[in-house]
Amino acid sequence: MTGETICELLKPLIGKTGTIIMVVGKVGQIGFAATENKLADVQVRPDGLVLIERSTGWTVIDPGEVVAVGWNGATDQTTGQFL
């Protein structure tokens, strides 16, 4: 997946609550809770990695390893099924 595609998928979620799930090759499923720490920004860095910012911190991912992205906007405490 490209960094631009990930940004296009995540930008509409900025400021919303829910859980973002990514399936990463050779690693498996990773999740980002965006309940109290809502998604603040997402952008492609000059080196091609994707920067995901929340109110309490940030994460950098390699978009080439991401094979799927899901979002659950439910506000309950369960993560549900994504894929």
| pLDDT tens sequence across 17-53 | 888 899 998 888 988 877 777 889 999 999 999 999 9
Domain residue limits at 65: 3-72
Q: Hey, CA dihedral for 23, 27, 28, 32, is it positive or negative? A: negative
Q: 54 in a domain, yes or no?
A: yes
Of 66, 72, 82, residue with least CA distance to 5:
66
Among 16-20, 38-42, 64-68, 74-78, the minimum mean pLDDT is found in 74-78
- Tally of structural domains, the chain: 1
Residue 16 predicted with pLDDT over 90: no
Q: 77 in a domain, yes or no?
A: no
Q: 83 in a domain, yes or no?
A: no
Stated pTM of the model: 0.81
Residue 82 predicted with pLDDT over 90: no
Return the H-helix or E-strand segment holding 28.
Answer: strand 28-34
Give SS3 for 11. Answer: helix
Q: 78 in a domain, yes or no?
A: no
